[in-house]
Amino acid sequence: MRVLAGDIGGTKTAIATVDIDRDDCRVRRLVRYPSADYPGLEEIVAEFLAGEKTRPRAAGFGVAGPVREGVAKVTKLPWRLDVRTLSRRARIPRVALVNDFQAAAAGIHYLRSRQLATLVPGRGERGATVAILGAGTGLGQAGIVRRGGRAVVVASEGGHVDFGPRSAAEDGLVDFLRRRFGRATRDRILSGGGLALIYEYLKSTRAARENAAVAAAFRSEDHAAVISRFALARSDRLCRLALDMFVSIYGSEAGNIALQYRATGGVYVGGGIAPRVLPALKTERFRRAFGEKAPMEDLLAQIPVRAVIDWRLGLFGAAASVIE
């Protein structure tokens, strides 16, 4: 079945034509658009469809925000999405709108081993609950439970819950964020903007001096990308400290979601950041933060954690939303 699929984020919106069935998903044509350059999704879809010879009869979209009765407000964009409006303006009879991490969870079924990287080894229980989380523009989360041999995705806005610090340094980070934003949430920290905020916090504590080359790069590049690049190259101490703290908090949150869903089938780390900082995630720092949660160490020691290195995961799941 050929469908139109979309992954709508606060920074980028990906639109694709996809051939999909119960077991296989193939992307035929894909374009990524800067979300903020468009007044809404309808304009992006119209631009994409202008390049298609035939119009798909069904479309599925994953959106970064809660979906209620076919209507969604994108969390970090001034867009309101409505399946009826999308259907009418795109002239596509069947349209589905789902939370972006509900789509990501549904897309896991279509992944192959080459699209995954092991962060924490383990032996997942066959047929058990699976969890997914992912940092990008924000932090998404979802679970997959089995009911009568069928996978059921449980959507979540758990990224917006309060952040629980585990150390004096993280206590200081919470104070830093609370003074600026009023709340310290997991989403605020585990995102591209969150990595930049961690850097600012550590700079304010004089954990290390700011490198002139880093400050110069900040003037023309995305701050999170700069911090990641210098940290992975081990060419700046402050960037390394920021990424180390980010990775530790990320590992801890992976452990949190494993416990919240009792995800003995495994945890998947999606989102746009994981592939970019993969060497930092494949470290003892991440593994230790994931597993050190007394008295649940034995349970967590059995749970595998895998990073999704194919960023198209959300598109796979968005396409799947119209064949179920």
pLDDT category of residue 73 using cuts at 50, 70 and 90: confident
pLDDT score, position 9: 84
- Residue whose pair of structure tokens reads 């997914």 in the numeric block: 132
Instruction: With a cut of 80, say whether residue 148 has pLDDT above it.
Output: no
Phi, psi of 120 (to 5 degrees): -135, 120
pLDDT category of residue 178 using cuts at 50, 70 and 90: very high
Written as six digits, the tokens of 26 are: 């193939």
Average the pLDDT over 9-34 and give the result: 93
CA distance 17 to 4: 5
Q: Tell me the HSE value of 315 on the side-chain side, using a 13 A CA sphere.
A: 26
Determine the residue type at 155: A
Average the pLDDT over 50-74 and give the result: 91
Neighbours of 225 (CB within 10 A): 15
pLDDT category of residue 324 using cuts at 50, 70 and 90: low
CB proximity list for 99: less than 8 A, separation 6 or greater: 62, 63, 64, 65, 66, 67, 72, 140, 142, 155
pLDDT category of residue 228 using cuts at 50, 70 and 90: very high
pLDDT in tens, 256-287: 999 999 999 999 999 999 999 999 999 999 99
pLDDT in tens, 291-308: 999 999 999 999 999 999
Q: Which residues pair with 62 in a beta bridge?
A: 7, 98
This prediction has a pTM of: 0.91
Q: CA-based Rg of the chain, rounded to a whole angstrom?
A: 20
Average the pLDDT over 77-103 and give the result: 93
pLDDT score, position 24: 92
Which bin fits 311, alpha (ψ -120 to 50), beta or left (φ > 0)? alpha
Are 260 and 158 a contacting pair, CB within 8 Å? yes
Instruction: With a cut of 70, say whether residue 18 has pLDDT above it.
Output: yes
Three-state SS sequence of the chain:
CEEEEEEECCCEEEEEEEEECCCCEEEEEEEEEEHHHCCCHHHHHHHHHCCCCCCCCEEEEEECCCEECCEEECCCCCCEEEHHHHHHHHCCCEEEEEEHHHHHHHHHHHCCHHHEEEEECCCCCCCCCEEEEEECCCEEEEEEEEECCEEEEEEECHHHCECCCCCHHHHHHHHHHHHHHCCCEHHHHCCHHHHHHHHHHHHHCCCCCCCHHHHHHHCCCCHHHHHHHHHHCCCCHHHHHHHHHHHHHHHHHHHHHHHHHCCCCEEEEECCCHHHHHHHHCCHHHHHHHHCCCCCHHHHHCCCEEEECCCCHHHHHHHHCCCC
Average the pLDDT over 101-126 and give the result: 94
pLDDT score, position 144: 94
pLDDT score, position 33: 96
